[in-house]
Amino acid sequence: MIQMSRTYLSGLALGLFSLSCVNPGGGTTSQPPCPIPGAVAADHLIQEGETHFAHLWQVTSGGENAEAYWSFSGDRLSMQVTHPDSEDSWTCDRIMVTEADGSLQQISDGQGVTTCSYFMPGDEGVIFASTKSEQATCPPRPDHSLGYVWPIHDSYEIYLHTLGGETRPLITGPGYDAEATLSPVGDRIVFTSTRSGDLELWTSDLEGNNLFQVTDEPGYDGGAFYSHDGQQLVFRTTAFTPGKEAEEASAYMELLSTGLVRPSNMELYTINVNGKERRQLTHLGKANFAPSYYPDDKKVIFASNHHDQNRPALNFDLFAIDVASGELEQITTADEGRGKQFDGFPLFSPDGKYLAFSSNRGDGPAGDTNVFIALWR
């Protein structure tokens, strides 16, 4: 669960989006076909050094949009959406899916706060987490005097929405259940839960049954994605300072008992789905998160601020790391100042041709976060 994940498309933007790529200056472009209907040509936003981006499209326009994840067919996205300035006080994340006419359809009911959506096999349903079972309104935001913290709502449960149909609970239980993604094989769900007392990775079958606890070490294990063969997971977890592990783990558990975590220091790990061979992948420092596998599973792409020497370090870019050698490559370079320096939540399309990610880049106000699609090379 990442708190900076939101989207809003104004009526004007929806009206501009069509089934073909749209050139902001008018007319259609010579770019290849859009992977997502209605996306706007945005090659002018490719930055120097972003050599893997052959073409770029902007899917959303304005507000805060993120965690956009592909359907199994690769022609739709689900995402989290927030528009704090909307007339109906839309200040909580809602879940949207892209439609064939270039619009976004809201599939969550607007109650509580939602997070972390993902298509089910066959693309006939989407799973997401929501607090609506206990609170119809937005939960209060954390106390800013505590610094940068994320809320861990015990009321989060994982729901299944059948597109065009009903929404029902899928994974419920004591404590926090959220951050669910699916194996590309289409047989298992991975999610983060506090049902064992700490934030650990769990898996289930597609009906939310046959639960298995994958991780069991102190720290916030979350944001997991499967390898393409469904045999491994990559995830981020709390990075405790060497020599201070016991002290910092105790402080972490004390803060978690109040429903909060401090995600300032996170590293990436891989682990087999049976819970064996847990291995640290990054040793970069600061906040490394939102990892997912390359199409060949030989590399992992993720977001990080480890290269930003400012305090606070607000410049997040996409990086790739070779799973075997640890060789690191910077993928994005956007940095236009405060509120214009975030790239995150990368995920390759099922065919490996496109990369979806969220970014502050563009002509909108500082802090706007939109969904982009890059043709990969």
Bridge partner list, 321 = 300, 328
Which class in CATH covers the domain with range 77-337? mainly beta
pLDDT of residue 86: 58
159: left (phi over 0), alpha (psi -120 to 50) or beta: beta
Q: What's the average model confidence in pLDDT over 205-231? A: 98
Q: What's the average model confidence in pLDDT over 56-72? A: 94
Locate all alpha helices (DSSP H) within 61-215, ordered by sequence.
none
How confident is residue 164, by pLDDT bands cut at 50, 70 and 90? confident
How confident is residue 87, by pLDDT bands cut at 50, 70 and 90? low
Q: What's the average model confidence in pLDDT over 111-137? A: 95
Query: Is residue 172 scored above 70 in pLDDT?
Result: yes
| Domain range summary for the chain, segments of one domain joined by + | 77-337
According to DSSP, residue 341 is labeled -
How confident is residue 28, by pLDDT bands cut at 50, 70 and 90? very low
Residues 310-346 as b/e (b if ≥16 CB within 10 A, e otherwise) read: eeebbbbbbbbbebeeeeeeebbebbeeeebbbbbbb
Q: What's the average model confidence in pLDDT over 58-82? A: 94
Which of 336 and 253 is assigned the larger pLDDT?
A: 253
Confidence (pTM): 0.91
Q: What's the average model confidence in pLDDT over 7-21? A: 33
Handedness of CA 254, 255, 258, 259 (dihedral sign): negative
The structure tokens listed for 318 are 């996409």
Identity of the residue numbered 216? D
Rounded Cα distance between 347 and 78, Å, is 12
How confident is residue 366, by pLDDT bands cut at 50, 70 and 90? confident
**Nearest one of 41, 37, 32 to 19, comparing CA atoms:** 37
206 CB contacts (<8 Å, ≥6 apart)? Answer: 120, 121, 186, 187, 188, 189
How confident is residue 269, by pLDDT bands cut at 50, 70 and 90? very high
pLDDT digits (tens, 9 = 90+) for 301-354: 999 999 999 888 889 999 999 999 999 999 999 887 776 789 999 999 999 999
Query: Is residue 114 scored above 60 in pLDDT?
Result: yes
**Nearest one of 344, 335, 355, 356 to 266, comparing CA atoms:** 344
Q: What's the average model confidence in pLDDT over 31-46? A: 89
**Nearest one of 204, 224, 1, 203 to 114, comparing CA atoms:** 1
Q: Could you give the percent of the chain with pLDDT greater than 70?
A: 90
Q: Do residues 124 and 74 make contact, with C-beta atoms less than 8 angstroms apart?
A: no
pLDDT of residue 90: 64
Query: Is residue 216 scored above 50 in pLDDT?
Result: yes
pLDDT of residue 179: 98
Residue matched to tokens 């370079």: 333
Mean per-residue pLDDT over the chain, rounded: 89
Q: Could you give the percent of the chain with pLDDT greater than 90?
A: 76
pLDDT of residue 352: 97
pLDDT of residue 13: 33
Query: Is residue 169 scored above 90 in pLDDT?
Result: yes
